[in-house]
Homo-oligomer: A and B are copies of this chain.
Amino acid sequence: MHPEAPSDTEPAAGMLDTRDRLIEAGIEIFADRGFADASVRSICARADANAAAVNYHFRNKANLYAEVLATCHLRAVRRRPMPRLDATGEPPQKVLRRWIRWFLELLLVDGSGPLGRLMAREMADPTPTRALETLAERSMLPMLNGLRETLMALLPGGLGPVQVQLFLHSVVGQCLFYRHAQPALERLHRLHRDGSLPGDPRAAALGVAPYDLDRLADHIATFSLAGLATADPAGAEP
């Protein structure tokens, strides 16, 4: 019979059973090869399991993938709860700064952020599994709504929802850039470092430095706070 309950917990130090080992292996391999390019056999190999293990414990590859996504989501929200505008009276500027820091961390750290990587992949190239639907509903929507609350506290009243949305996108876009563009930034950096490129010293430091998350968050926060201040309730909303 096929068991169903997800593991829910971080991997214990000791030995995990096959099902959990498959999920762990799935997280790693799906995150850096993508759904299509991650072969069931390679996942089973990394999990020290038979090639048929995935089809026994989950019904198929897609179900394992869904379980992997769910597990990553669960861990991420457990480990780092999202900063929200609370009754604590913390000024919304600070909350925004913390939200940005939190989001960057989600995207970039902890084994280079399995959830962030998987989300980025799904966003760029959705699986035919409707996984993006679930991800959007369970992960993205709460994040964006949390950010929206904070932004509304920083924006003047009377703004239409589409206007608010534009500001939301500006903040999120700046953060997501460092996840989405990572491979490209690496290439650009290499181009500059190897000096194989003719002239143009202005290309200096085009690539990524080993990012200091705090510095990054500070930059995006102050940049965005200034941007938010340009909001004009006079703009008509269709």
How many copies of this chain?
2
A-B complex: 5 closest residue pairs judged by Cβ atoms: A173-B177, A223-B227, A124-B124, A161-B205, A136-B187
Q: Which residue of B lies closest to A133 (CB)?
A: B187
A187 to B177, CA, bound (A): 20
Contact in complex: A180, B123 (CB < 8 Å): yes
Q: Which of B144, B161, B197, B205 has a CB less than 8 Å from the CB of A188? A: B144
Contact in complex: B126, A183 (CB < 8 Å): yes
Does A58 have its Cβ within 8 Å of any Cβ on chain B?
no
From A140, A145, A174, A230, residue with most partner B Cβ within 10 Å:
A174
Contact in complex: A219, B170 (CB < 8 Å): yes
Does A15 have its Cβ within 8 Å of any Cβ on chain B?
no
A56 nearest CB across to chain B (Å): 27
Contact in complex: B166, A216 (CB < 8 Å): yes
A192 to B202, CA, bound (A): 45
Does A203 have its Cβ within 8 Å of any Cβ on chain B?
yes
Q: Which of B121, B137, B183, B219 has a CB less than 8 Å from the CB of A166? A: B219
A75 to B87, CA, bound (A): 55
Does A234 have its Cβ within 8 Å of any Cβ on chain B?
no
* B residues near A1, Cβ cutoff 8 Å: none
Contact in complex: B183, A132 (CB < 8 Å): yes
Does A13 have its Cβ within 8 Å of any Cβ on chain B?
no
Could you list some 22 contacts between A and B, CB below 8 A? A123-B180, A123-B181, A123-B183, A123-B184, A126-B183, A133-B191, A136-B184, A136-B187, A144-B188, A144-B206, A149-B202, A160-B205, A161-B204, A161-B205, A166-B216, A169-B174, A169-B181, A170-B220, A173-B175, A173-B177, A180-B180, A226-B227
